[in-house]
């Protein structure tokens, strides 16, 4: 009978537990504030010149939403990385940085198959 998996220690339990922390950090960043301000002003000026002040306000609102959406996506990615790092550390696993190519995985699987085949045909 197999043993049950170890219980999760307290901490990050979901991939989005630290999203709000990362989102606040990103939105308070001087780079985000300056680039976001430039985008909002450009949207406002461009739409005001093209279609009037009401369109300019609408375009500025869309610019604010766009900045928030980009920060939210970046914060979600950082929270996901926090979760996987916590998950690996809680189970004594090592995380490899970057992505693994299919060829590397294929080599590992083929090596395991050869080892299993060698063990299967060894006479007692």
Distance between CA 44 and CA 39 in Å, rounded?
A: 9
Q: What is the pTM of this model?
A: 0.68
Structure tokens at 18: 């630290």
For residue 116, the model assigns a pLDDT of: 65
The low-confidence residues of the chain, meaning pLDDT below 50, are 1, 12
């Amino acid at each position: 009978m197999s043993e049950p998996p170890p219980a999760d220690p307290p901490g990050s339990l979901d991939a989005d537990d630290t999203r709000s922390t990362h989102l606040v950090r990103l939105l308070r960043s001087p780079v985000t504030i300056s680039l976001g301000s430039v985008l909002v002003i450009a949207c406002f000026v461009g739409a005001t010149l093209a279609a009037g002040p009401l369109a300019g306000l609408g375009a500025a609102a869309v610019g604010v939403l766009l900045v928030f959406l980009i920060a939210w996506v970046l914060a979600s990615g950082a929270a996901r990385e926090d979760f996987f790092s916590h998950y690996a550390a809680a189970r004594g696993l090592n995380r490899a940085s970057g992505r693994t190519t299919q060829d590397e995985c294929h080599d590992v699987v083929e090596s395991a198959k050869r080892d299993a085949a060698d063990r299967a045909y060894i006479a007692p």
